[in-house]
Chains A and B, each alone.
Chain A
Amino acid sequence: MADLVLALIQTAALLALAPLLTGIIRKLKAWMQSRRGPPIYQPYLDLAKLMRKGSVVSEDSSWVTTITPYVCLISMVVAALLVPAFVTESLGFLGDLIVLVYLFAMTRFFTALAALDAGSTFGGMGSSREMLVSSLIEPAILLSFFTVALLTGTTSLVSVTSVIATSGASLIGPALLLAFAAFLIAVLAENARVPVDNPSTHLELTMIHEAMLLEYSGKDLALMEYSSMVKLTLFVTIAWSAFLPWGVATEITAPALALGVIVFLAKLLTLAVVIAVIESSMAKLRLFRLPNLLTGAFMLAFLAVMSYFVL
C-alpha cells in the first residue's frame, strides 16, 4: 500500500512541479540575457488567469477542437503515472516505455489534427512541420528506449530505473551514452525548444508548436499549455530515470527517499540549466536544416542499439 501511495505522491509532484520547471527555465534564460525576468511562479499565475477567461472558438472547427485539450491533458496525466522520478515506484504495470512513447504520440496526433481543424494557414503549417519533426524523432526515442530495454531485459520503466540504479557502473558503456545523447536531442525536439523550435517566438512563419495552438484561447489554451509543461517535465525526468538514474530511491526508507528527492531536484535543475544555455547561445535552425539534427539523433539511437549487440 505504501508503494502505491508513494507512486501517487510522485505523480502529483510531477504534475505540480511542471509549471515551476518552465518558470525556472525562463528565469535562467532571463538571467543569461541580463534581464530580470518574471518570477519563477509566473506560469502558475498565467494558467490561473487563463482558466478564468472566456474562449473564442472558430466557427469552422469541429468536435476535434473541443476534445483535444482534454485528451492531451489526460494522456499526460496517465503518462505521469508511469514515470518514476525520485523513487522506483509507479503504476508501471499499466504500461511500459513503448506505451509512454505512444501516449506522447497521442497528444501530438490530436494537437496536429486540432491545428488543421480551424482551416487557418498557420495551423496547417504547424501541423505539417510537427509531423515532420515527430516522424524523425519518434523512432529515435523508441530506439534509445530499446537500447536500455536490451541492457536491462525489460521495457518497463520502473524496472529499467531500478536495474540500472542498482547495477553500479557495469552498464555504463557506448550503448547507454549514445542512447542518452540521442534522447537529449529528442527532449529538445519533442518539447519545441531551440534549436528545433522557439517556445517564445510569436513570429508565425517560424513557429511549430505555437502555430498549432494559435486558435485556442481561455480554458482550452490553459489545458494545452499545461499539458506541454507536463510533457517537458516528463521528458526531463525520463532522460534521467531511463538512462542515468543513479541517486533514485530504490527502497522505501526515509534516508533513501530524502536523497532521492534531493537528487531528483538537482537533476531537474541541471537539465533546466542545459536547456537555458542552449536556448541562450544557439539560434533556431532553419526548417530544412532540422533533418540534419534529427537524422543525427536517429543514427545515434540506432548505433546505440548496435553497440549493445556488438560491443
Chain B
Amino acid sequence: MAELDVNLIDGLAALVLLTAFLIVATGRMRTLVRVFALQSLALGLLAAAVAYSTGYWHIYIVAALTILLKALVIPRIIDRVMDRIQVANDVEPSVRTPSSLLIAGGLAILAYYVAEPLIQSGETITAGALALSLAVVLIGLFVMISRKKAITQVIGLLVMENGLFMAALSLSYGMPLIVELGVFFDIMVAVLIMGVFVFRINRTFDTLDTSFLRRLRD
C-alpha cells in the first residue's frame, strides 16, 4: 500500500476529529450545521480514499451516499427546521465552552489510550484512524449531554454516527453494503422524525430547551 494513501487517510481522519472539536467550540447554530456538513464531507472523502486504496467498489457508493446525504441533504433539512421554528442562533451549552473543549480533549486522550493496543495489533491500513473515530464518537455523545437544545442533540447523534462509520471503515473497510444502506436509511428517517419532534417540542413548550421536558414527569 502506498505510503501516501495512508497519509491521506490519516490526514482526513484528523480533519474529522478537528471538525468534532469545532462543533464543541462553536457558539452559533448555523455554524454548527455547516461544520457538521464539513465533517461529513471529510468523512466521505476519507471513504473515497479508502475505496481508492483498497479497490473495493462498494465503498465508493458509501462515500457518495455519505457526501450526498450527510453533507448536503441532512444539513439542509436541519436548516429548514430551524427556519420554520425560528430557533435563536445561540447554542446554549450547559458546560462552558473552554471547559467543554478541555473535556473533549480529555475524551480524545481517553480514546487514544483505549485504542492504542488495538492499533498496535491492527492489520488494516486505516487502523490508525480507529483512535480518532472513537474520539469522535465520545465527543458526539458529550455534545448530546452538554448542549440543551434538541437540535444540538440531533447533531451530537449525527456526529456519533459519523464516528461509528469511521470506526467501521478503519476496522474492516466498512460494513457490507446492504447494512450501510440500512444505516443511511435509518439516519435519514431519524433526522426526519427528530425534525417533527423538535417542531412538536417547540409548539408545546415554546422552547427547544430539553431541560423543560423534565416537567413531563409531574
**Interface pairs A-B: 5 shortest CB-CB:** A174-B14, A299-B105, A311-B128, A172-B7, A292-B97
The answer, yes or no, to whether B108 is at the interface (CB within 8 Å) is yes
Interface-facing stretch out of B52-60, B82-90, B111-119 = B111-119
Q: Is the CB of B128 within 8 A of A292?
A: no
Q: Is the CB of B98 within 8 A of A303?
A: no
The answer, yes or no, to whether A178 is at the interface (CB within 8 Å) is yes
A28 CA to B15 CA in the complex, in Å?
28
0 or 1 for each of A269-311: is its CB under 8 Å from B? (1 = yes): 0000000000000000000010111011001101100110111
Question: Which of B1-34 touch A at CB < 8 Å?
Answer: 3-4, 7, 10-11, 13-15, 17-18, 21-22, 25, 27
Q: Is the CB of B131 within 8 A of A310?
A: yes
Tally of A-B Cβ pairs under 8 angstroms: 78
Given the known interface contacts A291-B98, A299-B102, A303-B105, the answer about A311 and B3 at a Cβ–Cβ threshold of 8 Å is no
Centre residue among A170, A174, A303 by max chain B CB count within 10 A: A174
A181 CA to B18 CA in the complex, in Å?
9
Interface on chain B toward A: helix, strand, loop, or mixed SS? helix
Q: Which residue from B7, B14, B104 sits with its C-beta under 8 Å from A170?
A: B7
A250 CA to B11 CA in the complex, in Å?
25
Closest residue of chain B to A181 (Cβ to Cβ) is B18
The answer, yes or no, to whether B68 is at the interface (CB within 8 Å) is no
The answer, yes or no, to whether A131 is at the interface (CB within 8 Å) is no
Q: Which residue from B11, B27, B98, B101 sits with its C-beta under 8 Å from A174?
A: B11
Closest residue of chain B to A182 (Cβ to Cβ) is B18
The answer, yes or no, to whether A177 is at the interface (CB within 8 Å) is yes
A295 CA to B22 CA in the complex, in Å?
12
For B13, list chain A residues within 8 Å (CB): 174
For B109, list chain A residues within 8 Å (CB): 302-303, 306
Show the binding face of B for A, using Cβ within 8 Å.
3-4, 7, 10-11, 13-15, 17-18, 21-22, 25, 27, 97-98, 101-102, 104-105, 108-109, 112-113, 115-116, 119, 128, 131-132
Q: Which residue from A177, A296, A302, A303 sits with its C-beta under 8 Å from B15?
A: A177
List 8 A-B pairs, Cβ < 8 Å: A172-B11, A177-B18, A291-B97, A291-B98, A292-B101, A296-B101, A310-B115, A311-B128
Q: Which residue from B11, B108, B119 sits with its C-beta under 8 Å from A177?
A: B11
For A293, list chain B residues within 8 Å (CB): 25
The answer, yes or no, to whether A169 is at the interface (CB within 8 Å) is yes
Q: Is the CB of A303 within 8 A of B101?
A: no
Further contacts, 8 of them, CB under 8 A, given A174-B17, A303-B17 = A172-B11, A177-B15, A292-B98, A292-B101, A296-B21, A299-B105, A299-B108, A310-B113
Task: Write the nearest CB–CB distance from B151 to chain A, whole angstroms.
Answer: 20
Q: Is the CB of B27 within 8 A of A177?
A: no
Interface on chain A toward B: helix, strand, loop, or mixed SS? helix
Q: Is the CB of A173 within 8 A of B112?
A: no
For B113, list chain A residues within 8 Å (CB): 310
Given the known interface contacts A299-B21, A300-B21, A306-B112, the answer about A173 and B105 at a Cβ–Cβ threshold of 8 Å is no
Closest residue of chain A to B135 (Cβ to Cβ) is A303
Given the known interface contacts A178-B14, A296-B25, the answer about A302 and B116 at a Cβ–Cβ threshold of 8 Å is no
Closest residue of chain A to B104 (Cβ to Cβ) is A299
Given the known interface contacts A310-B112, A310-B116, A310-B131, the answer about A173 and B10 at a Cβ–Cβ threshold of 8 Å is yes
Given the known interface contacts A295-B101, A300-B18, A311-B131, the answer about A173 and B7 at a Cβ–Cβ threshold of 8 Å is yes
Q: Is the CB of B98 within 8 A of A173?
A: no
Q: Is the CB of B3 within 8 A of A169?
A: yes
Centre residue among B98, B102, B115 by max chain A CB count within 10 A: B98
Task: Write the nearest CB–CB distance from B146 to chain A, whole angstroms.
Answer: 14
Task: Write the nearest CB–CB distance from A135 to chain B, whole angstroms.
Answer: 13
For B4, list chain A residues within 8 Å (CB): 169
Closest residue of chain A to B116 (Cβ to Cβ) is A310
Q: Is the CB of A173 within 8 A of B11?
A: yes
For B132, list chain A residues within 8 Å (CB): 174, 311
A306 CA to B14 CA in the complex, in Å?
12
